[in-house]
Chain A
Amino acid sequence: MKINTFNIFCTLLILASACKGRSKNPNASAIAIAPVPSGNSAESANGNDKSQNGSLGSNGQTEEEQLGLMCTPGGTYSYVGLGGVKLEVGRARSAVNRDRHQVKSLNVLRDSYRQSFGVLPPSFTRYTATFSVKEPRWLSPTMPSAFSNYALFVMGREVGQAVIRGDASWAKRTGDEEIAEGCKLIAAKAWIRTISDEESQSCATYLSRPEFAELSAEDRWSYVFAAMLTSVEFITY
């Protein structure tokens, strides 16, 4: 009886831990292009209103609480500006979310390719204008678009091809364990984290899709690189 209770407790603990682990990286579970997260989509009166503030997890916590992001509305001070105007009036009522992420600029993207994989996609220079217009002494924001997503996919695939060319072991990664390991290796470089078994399975499923049946193992893997290097976790910081 004692052992059964312990088993149940441990099982619950493991489930809770697994759920928490997944919730920290909600964008990474699917290998797909996803929009940049925005807090504006989860508006609520003060960010603590659980009924309005996103869905509740199995443990009764909001997504923000699971992420450890605390909404602390109600600043201590009011700021009276020139003409007696209260300056804090008019702030957006968005909840704290992952909208502190920024899309990587071309500079940061270039450094990310080099630091994570040691290569710069051959097309990088060609696609520069797709991301932003370079003006002297001016900070042109990176503008995500269908064109830039396409460019990211092409460049991600080029990174994969370069990595695969330099390491013959990728062609031999065809068994379940090797595929899972390969997926984890790419994610560790691209997303700087260890992916869950569920995410690894999702990656393996992508690699095994029927459309890829005619492709070589190297080509299939290059598409996995492309998918991961087009994801929010790679293209934002």
Chain B
Amino acid sequence: MHFFAPRLGIIFLCLFPSSIVRADPGAEFNARCAQKIHASLTDSLSGMSPSANPKANVDALLESAEFIEHFALFLNTAFNDDPTEALPEDVVYHLTKHVLEKKKPYADLFTGRYDFTFNKPATGLDRVEVVASPQGVGYFETRPWKLRYMGNEENGVRLMAAYRILNNMTGLELSAVTIDPNKKNTAAGRRDAPCNVCHYNSWFALDKVASVLGTVDFAPQLNLVKFNPPDGSVKQILGDIPVRNTRELTEAVVKSENFSFQACRLSFRFLTGRNENVCEEKLFDQCMTNFKKTGKIQDALKTYILDANFCQ
């Protein structure tokens, strides 16, 4: 008996090792996976139900109001430097919600013909509504956005807007540097080295890009701001692409690899808090393929969530 009992135990463990060592690890894994997916997409666990297949309801989550709110907050934070108290200024937030709710392509955020109306009812909460506008170019031609990023350059050159457009659409990251405040902080100074690298001699040449955006006149005494349209002439920018205005600029960027690349990178960052690394290149390739097929940011996100490693 002394020798028999342990042997039986060993045989039993061999037949049912998982039931002894771990209690239904599959169900536990699924529960953790469901929690991760739900929290990643909606920033909450409310409404989450146990499921044998936690990835089965990803589509439903991607249509939920909670996901739309969370992703709109994410993009608003990613595309602006600082928060603002002013509701109308957060055009990225408002238009992202609209694009996701209406199941529009992600590119609509930057090229869609939209504008906003701000309603301040006597009672209830202030509201911003997205409306159709033939002159609209995503949120880039809305007055709140143009005011927020009008900049303070001489001659009304909209350098800040040029940088913001490229930053939001391609992920371009630059730091403004004033090397010699007496000489370089002028249009002529920016043509000299080393300022000319960013302002004139690269694919993102900020002065060239700004030249298709028109200019801004600011009368501080009157607190008047007037935006002037571009002159209509063709400029060779973004490498060597002919562009005349904001619409042609954003449409050119949407056609580039930069745009899809940034959409997939942002999606990865939304789900993990960081950019993809070399170990995740093939998964990233899959995201690019899926995103290009539909143009929907939801499909980029789904690529990562449905990956076998997502819940590990």
In chain B, residues 234-293, which have Cβ atoms closer than 8 Å to a Cβ of chain A? 238-239, 241, 253, 256-258, 261, 271-285, 288
Do the beta carbons of B275 and A92 come within 8 Å of each other? yes
Contact B14 A91 (CB under 8 A): no
Whole-angstrom CA separation of A229 from B281 in the bound complex = 35
Contacting residues, chain B, for A115 (C-beta < 8 A) = 45, 48
Contacts of A91 in B (CB 8 A): 275-278, 281
Task: Assess whether B10 is in contact with A79, with CB atoms less than 8 Å apart.
Answer: no
Q: With a CB–CB cut-off of 8 A, which chain B residues contact A13?
A: 14, 17
- Which residues in window 148-168 of A have CB below 8 A to B? none
Tell me if B43 and A108 are in contact (CB < 8 A).
yes
Chain A residues touching B, majority SS: loop
A87 to B288, Cβ gap below 8 A? Answer: no
Total count of chain A residues near the partner, CB < 8 A: 61
Docked-complex contact A94 and B73, CB < 8 angstroms: no
Instruction: Tell me, yes or no, whether A41 is within 8 Å of chain B by CB.
Output: no
Task: Please determine whether B77 and A138 come into contact, CB atoms closer than 8 angstroms.
Answer: yes
Within 8 A of B (CB), among A170-199: 192-194, 196
Are A67 and B312 neighbours in the complex by a CB distance under 8 Å? yes
Asked if A83 and B203 sit within 8 Å, CB to CB, the answer is: yes
The total of Cβ contacts below 8 Å across the A-B interface reads: 169
Within 8 A of A (CB), among B5-22: 7, 10-11, 13-14, 17-18, 21-22
Which residues does chain A contribute within 8 Å of B35, judged by CB atoms? 192, 237
Of A87, A93, A237, which contacts B277 at CB under 8 A?
A93
Task: Give the contacting residue for B257; candidates A3, A81, A94, A237; CB below 8 A.
Answer: A81
| Closest B residue to A43 using CB positions | B277
- CB distance B281 to A73 under 8 Å? yes
Flag if A11 contacts B10 (CB, 8 Å). yes
Tell whether, in the assembled complex, residue B10 and residue A68 are in contact, meaning their CB atoms are under 8 Å apart: no
Q: Which of A7, A95, A107 has the most CB of B within 10 A?
A: A107
**B273–A102 contact, CB under 8 A?**
yes
Q: Could you tell me which residues of chain B, from 72 to 113, have a CB within 8 Å of some CB in chain A? A: 72-74, 76-77, 83-85, 87, 90, 93
A108 and B44 within 8 A (CB): yes
Q: What residues of chain B lie closer than 8 Å to A140, measured between beta carbons?
A: 77
- B218 interfacial by beta-carbon distance below 8 Å: no
A75 engages B285 (CB within 8 Å):
yes
Q: Does B25 lie within 8 Å of A193, measured CB to CB? A: yes
Closest to A95 in B: B279
**Interchain CB contact (< 8 A) of A82 among B83, B203, B277, B283:** B203
- 1/0 contact trace for B27-49 toward A, CB 8 Å? 01001100110011001111010
**Which residues of B lie under 8 Å from residue A18 when comparing CB positions?**
21
Within A59-111, the residues touching B (CB, 8 Å) are: 67-77, 79-85, 87-88, 91-96, 98-100, 102, 104-105, 107-108, 111
| Interfacial residues, chain B to chain A (CB-CB below 8 A) | 7, 10-11, 13-14, 17-18, 21-23, 25, 28, 31-32, 35-36, 39-40, 43-46, 48, 70, 72-74, 76-77, 83-85, 87, 90, 93, 170, 202-204, 238-239, 241, 253, 256-258, 261, 271-285, 288, 309-310, 312
14 CB-based A-B contacts, threshold 8 Å: A7-B10, A10-B10, A13-B17, A21-B22, A73-B279, A74-B281, A76-B282, A76-B285, A82-B239, A83-B202, A91-B277, A91-B278, A108-B43, A141-B273
